[in-house]
Amino acid sequence: MQVFTFERGENMLSLHEYESRIDRPVMMKIPEFNRENRLKHILFSSQMDKMMIDMLCRTALKIKHISSTKPGSDYLLSLLSHKRAMLYFTQVSTRTFMSFMAASQILGIKCNEIRDQNLSSEFKGESPLDSIRMFSSYFDVIIMRSKTPNFAEACAYLMNDLDQFNQRSVPIINAGAGADEHPTQALLDIFTLQRTFGFTSKKDSSKWNYYRELKKNHPDLTKGLNDKVYGFCGDLRRGRTVRSLVNLLSLYENISVAFISPDSEDFRFPEEEIKRLEHRGVTVYEYFSLDEAIDKVDMLYMTRIQKEYDKPDQSKNYDELIGEFILTPERAERLKTYCPILHPFPRNEEIPFEIDSNPRAMYFRQARNGMWVRAALIAHLFDVESQIANYYQDKFSEYHNYNMEAI
């Protein structure tokens, strides 16, 4: 029984001090959120290096395979059966919420939630950090999406301070708050690309092989994420997911990025960020219509042009404008055979329903991949990855060796 663990005079840092910590450049903060090559909290995509990403994706794939059998599912359920999660989504996002719920449930975690925006009014007058500390009293991980910028980060500092004073402290996961980063979305995109660019097929055999088949028309095609042209289309100024994904892609070799958007500051990818990418060795192209770029990309990442951001004086020719950035079936036919179509969803008219049956459409699989990747992240936070790897080795390695290779 610990009664008095705080030493007098050691003041816990105040919310105000968090602000000065928040204002630092991201790279200075990372050591506080990582620990011995492990993630302690999940806040920024730049917390993950290539090795970490590969490891998380391998775990995600193992979880996917293991959960395909009943005994495998039950094994996963047993891993974190003793943990309870709080999903604190005061900014509504049903997709991300459901994905995290499912990911937690796969590992046996008991879920608790606040999704009702009205409930937050209850906390009026109370410090939001008090609410978070309350959650940390009852639950073992806090997955959060808030409207308050940097709130997840401030919560992570609070937890670190508590940890330092030997008080109860739990991991914080940023589920894409406000204009902040959306690190788990970027990771699921990478996972989807890894699986796609493995170029394997169910029909692969010693006689016929999907990758060799593709090489006939694309002799320079390599497996994996290196040596590719990544196309991003739509509203690239506000697309949080685009920025997070491009950041992770820049970790790979010989990468080009094609930004496809209306020729306006309102939609183009920010110039200072383009410079930063180029500085890291990424080749950047800009296109102002989809037609120009469509046959050049190895991946096409579509995003919504959100009407709510449009300036009123532009609304006249809005439909015409947006028409240039819709993936019509005709345009889709001009994509390379193997080029995956991704979309963070929800979609508007930029991807018509007819495209759903196009073999390049990866966006629904991408969503499901989010569940596996988030389960892998949670498994990582609670340090049960090696248990998953061992179970996989025991029960699945023979059967799935081939597919794991693909990554």
| 347-406 binders of a second copy (CB under 8 A) | 347-348, 353-354, 356-361, 364, 367-368, 371, 403, 406
Q: Which of 168, 275, 280, 334 binds a second copy (CB under 8 A)?
A: 168
What number of CA atoms fall less than 13 Å from residue 111's CA on the CB side? Answer: 21
Q: Which parts of 4-23 interact with a second copy (CB under 8 A)?
A: 4-8, 10-12, 14-15
| Residue 165 binds a second copy (CB under 8 A) | yes
CA distances from 154 to 40, 43, 201, 258, 311 (A): 14, 10, 45, 35, 33
Task: Label the pairing between strands 110-114 and 84-89.
Answer: parallel
Q: Which parts of 210-249 interact with a second copy (CB under 8 A)?
A: 210
Q: Which of 22, 52, 98, 389 binds a second copy (CB under 8 A)?
A: 98
Part in contact with a second copy (CB under 8 A); list of ranges 1-9, 26-34, 230-238, 240-248: 1-9
Q: Which of 19, 24, 35, 127 binds a second copy (CB under 8 A)?
A: 127
CB of 288 to a second copy, least distance (A): 25
| Residue 70 binds a second copy (CB under 8 A) | yes
Contact 142, 177 (CB under 8 A): no
| Residue 346 binds a second copy (CB under 8 A) | yes
Q: Which of 37, 137, 206, 401 binds a second copy (CB under 8 A)?
A: 137
Closest among 55, 54, 62, 59 to 400, alpha carbons compared: 62
Part in contact with a second copy (CB under 8 A); list of ranges 107-115, 283-291, 314-322, 390-398: 107-115
Instruction: Name the maximum alpha-carbon separation found in the chain.
Output: 74
Size of the site for a second copy (CB under 8 A): 80
Q: Which parts of 197-216 interact with a second copy (CB under 8 A)?
A: 198-202, 210
Q: Which two structure tokens, joined as six digits, stand for 315?
A: 């609304």
Q: Which parts of 304-343 interact with a second copy (CB under 8 A)?
A: none
Interhelix angle 363-381/385-395, rounded to 10 degrees, is: 120
Q: Which residues contact 330 (CB under 8 A, 6 or more apart)?
A: none
Cβ proximity to a second copy, 210 vs 288, nearer residue:
210
The 10 Å CB-count burial string (b at 16+, else e) for 163-187 is eeeebebbbbbbbbbeebbbbbbbb
Q: Which of 45, 46, 47, 99 binds a second copy (CB under 8 A)?
A: 99
| Residue 195 binds a second copy (CB under 8 A) | yes
Q: Which two structure tokens, joined as six digits, stand for 377?
A: 């992240």
Q: Which of 139, 269, 325, 391 binds a second copy (CB under 8 A)?
A: 139
Euclidean distance between the first and the last CA atom of the chain, given in angstroms as a whole number? 48
Contact 181, 192 (CB under 8 A): no
| Residue 163 binds a second copy (CB under 8 A) | no
